Amino acid sequence: MKTIATFTDPMGAHLLIARLEGSGVRAYIRDENMVAVDWLYANAIGGVKVDVADEDLERALELLADEPDS
């Protein structure tokens, strides 16, 4: 498993998960519950992380690179 993105809040992680899974890449969220308990923990533990399997890493990074700038 490789971490491809980190967020300070779970919503951003869920949006990325939806985009990845919509493109056929399985993704997982780590540390969501810890941040939900107390958002101040986000900085201490490195935020909410989005992970993908090693074999999906290249495709996931391509999808991240194709994200439009907001």
Percent helix, strand, coil in the chain (nearest 5)? 50, 20, 25
Domain residue limits, the chain: 2-65
CATH class of the 2-65 domain in this structure: alpha beta
Tens digits of per-residue pLDDT, 17-51? 999 999 999 999 999 998 888 888 888 899 999 99
Check: CB of residue 27 under 8 Å from CB of residue 51: yes
What mean pLDDT value characterizes the chain? Answer: 91
CA 13 to CA 10: how far, in whole Å?
Answer: 5
pLDDT reported for residue 69: 61
